């Protein structure tokens, strides 16, 4: 891979060079432009394998956006009307929208000075209706996963990490998005790595991974 040097890191413009252009040309020339199979096309599977190795998880499944990653993960967990999902009040709107789309109730809690959700506020907000907790690793800075996962376990709730902005970030030696029921990533144009649009779901649970495969393939 060719090394590139730039004077600054633009936050709203992806860096696209000859390597990326050649890769796109290769796809176009193959005549295989869609994920038409249950397991995904050649390049989808290749991407999933590479991200799986980076995260050191059992499964990575590509989807069409970070929003779809969150929606699909909550769907696989069975989130439905009457359930509550806890999330930080400071996040992108998609984190809340996917909860509403499933007719569940978003429960907003405040953040700390590092812009990540406050576990103490989660502890106060959790209830018997809590189905999942969504910590957001904002700006690539990991949330306090140890505390959040302990709260979730004690209330039989799942943790879905919104790691849209944190591919490559680590918490206590493990990649963000790799230690909870689900980790959700975005490949949008302004993210750490981009495919223009796109997203990915990571999990170590075989049954949950199979549910995700079914949901992403015609629901």
Burial zone of 172 (CB within 10 Å; 0-12 exposed, 13-18 middle, 19+ buried): exposed
Q: Find the catalytic residue in 21, 42, 124, 191.
A: 191
Q: Dihedral (C-alpha) 43, 44, 45, 50: value to the nearest 10 degrees?
A: 90
Other beta carbons within 10 angstroms of residue 207's beta carbon come to: 9
Separation of alpha carbons 178 and 201, rounded Å: 10
8 Å CB contact between 184 and 163: yes
Catalytic residue list contains 191 = yes
Separation of alpha carbons 50 and 54, rounded Å: 6
**Which residues are tagged catalytic?**
191
């Amino acid at each position: 891979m060719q090394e590139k040097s730039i004077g600054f890191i633009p936050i709203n413009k992806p860096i696209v060079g000859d390597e990326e252009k050649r890769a796109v040309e290769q796809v176009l020339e193959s005549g295989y432009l869609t994920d038409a199979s249950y397991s995904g096309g050649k390049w989808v599977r290749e991407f999933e394998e590479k991200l799986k190795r980076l995260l050191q998880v059992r499964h990575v499944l590509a989807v069409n956006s970070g929003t779809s990653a969150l929606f699909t993960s909550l769907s696989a967990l069975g989130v439905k009307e009457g359930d509550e999902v806890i999330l930080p009040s400071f996040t992108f709107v998609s984190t809340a929208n996917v909860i509403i789309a499933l007719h569940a109730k978003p429960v907003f809690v405040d953040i700390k000075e590092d812009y990540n959700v406050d576990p103490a506020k989660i502890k106060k907000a959790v209830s018997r209706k809590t189905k999942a907790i969504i910590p957001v690793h904002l700006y690539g800075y990991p949330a306090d996963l140890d505390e959040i996962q302990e709260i979730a376990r004690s209330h039989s709730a799942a943790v879905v990490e919104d790691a849209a902005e944190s591919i490559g970030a680590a918490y206590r030696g493990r990649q963000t998005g790799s230690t909870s029921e689900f980790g959700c990533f975005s490949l949008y144009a302004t993210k750490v790595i981009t495919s223009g649009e796109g997203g990915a779901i990571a999990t170590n649970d075989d049954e949950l991974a199979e549910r995700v495969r079914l949901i992403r393939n015609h629901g």
